[in-house]
Amino acid sequence: MAIARDKAATPALRQEETQVDAIGGTVIVRGLMLADRLALWDEEQPRDGETPEDAAKRNKATVVERQLARMVVLDDGQPLWTAEQWKAFGQQHATEAFRLYNLGNSFSGGDTKAIEKN
């Protein structure tokens, strides 16, 4: 027998506010939405003339900034920066970039150990 509508658990977006001095204040880090996951998956597919191996290398080199561009938002719910801006931030503040990435990835069910291994 199916669950009654009033007994179904309401989904909640996992997110957390965190201070980032290098950015100048508090940001919200949230898990990836399903649409974000699908968009990332689409971006990871081989492009014209690209082998699957080349696509995997491209993805590995850009996954952190592409995910940060979707996971780090401000009080209006809009992304703080683009992937290119996160790339520049990561060049100067790698520790903070990975901290934010790991936080958001933990909300998204990601296994950062598996990602590091690959």
Task: Render pLDDT for 84-111 as a digit per residue (tens, 0 to 9).
Answer: 999 999 999 999 999 999 999 999 876 5
Q: Span 14-117: which CATH code?
A: 3.30.2220.20
Conformation bin of residue 109: beta by default, left when phi > 0, alpha when psi is -120 to 50: left
Its pTM stands at 0.82
How far is the C-alpha of 77 from the C-alpha of 13, rounded, in Å?
Answer: 12
Pick out the chain residues at pLDDT < 50. Answer: 112, 114-118
pLDDT of residue 114: 45
pLDDT of residue 13: 87
pLDDT of residue 112: 47
pLDDT of residue 109: 74
Contacts of 50 (CB under 8 A, 6+ apart): 58
| Domain boundary assignment for the chain | 14-117
pLDDT of residue 98: 97
pLDDT of residue 111: 52
End-to-end CA distance of the chain: 43
The one-letter code for the residue type at 18 is: T
pLDDT of residue 9: 94
